[in-house]
Chains A and B, each alone.
Chain A
Amino acid sequence: QSALTQPPSASGSPGQSVTISCTGTSSDVGGYNYVSWYQQHPGKAPKLMIYEVTKRPSGVPDRFSGSKSGNTASLTVSGLQAEDEADYYCSSYAGSNNGVFGTGTKVTVL
């Protein structure tokens, strides 16, 4: 199973929006509505930010939103804040009780 493709980096100024893409295939992202997004700060465990493409767990700010079109899922962070600077990873169900992660995107708040 090949990793999902994410841009290595993305950036924005405080208050702006940034969108991260996650491209897979019809066997993973395009085939199921089971895409998740994680935020990881240095030295910390990943934290679930979005699940089932668009849903936010309790406690995650509504500045974080997810979407999907075809084989590409996206995470948008609106109203960027300094604490949003982190690495972000997508993951998708890929059938047969397997999942696959994205390559990761480092978000910098300028």
Chain B
Amino acid sequence: EVRLVESGGDLVQPGGSLRLSCAASGFTFSTYWMNWVRQAPGKGLEWVANIDQDGRAKHYVDSVRGRFTISRDNAKNSLYLQLSSLRAEDTAVYYCAREIWGNPDYWGQGTLVTVSS
């Protein structure tokens, strides 16, 4: 059974930093692109970043480029998202998702990031 479990969400002040983690199991993690997708309260889904199987190719939505960094550790079956220079508009539930042909198939349960003073 494919399982994705996010952690690391928290309340953080504007300008602060946070690191999200996603533990994967039930599939060969190293053979899939992986995504982070977020959903602000009461809003729709927004793709944030993705990373290729080797961790070399990375793509970001314009609004987070230069502030967020996606990475992975295939030995630990784990995906990460380093969030920096956080803004109020980054407040959202962040989902880890496995990707196939540009689209997520399996999703984690999400972790809440709240940016507020």
Contact = CB atoms under 8 A, between A and B. Distances in A.
Interface of A: 3, 32, 34-36, 38, 45-48, 51-52, 57, 89, 91-94, 96-104
B102 A104 contact: no
B107 A34 contact: no
Interface of B: 33, 35, 37, 44-47, 50, 52, 57, 59, 95, 99-110
A48 B33 contact: no
B107 A47 contact: yes
A60 to B, nearest CB: 12
Contacts of A96: 59
For the residues of B in contact with A, the DSSP-based class is strand
A89 B25 CA distance: 25
Nearest to B110: A45
B103 A91 contact: yes
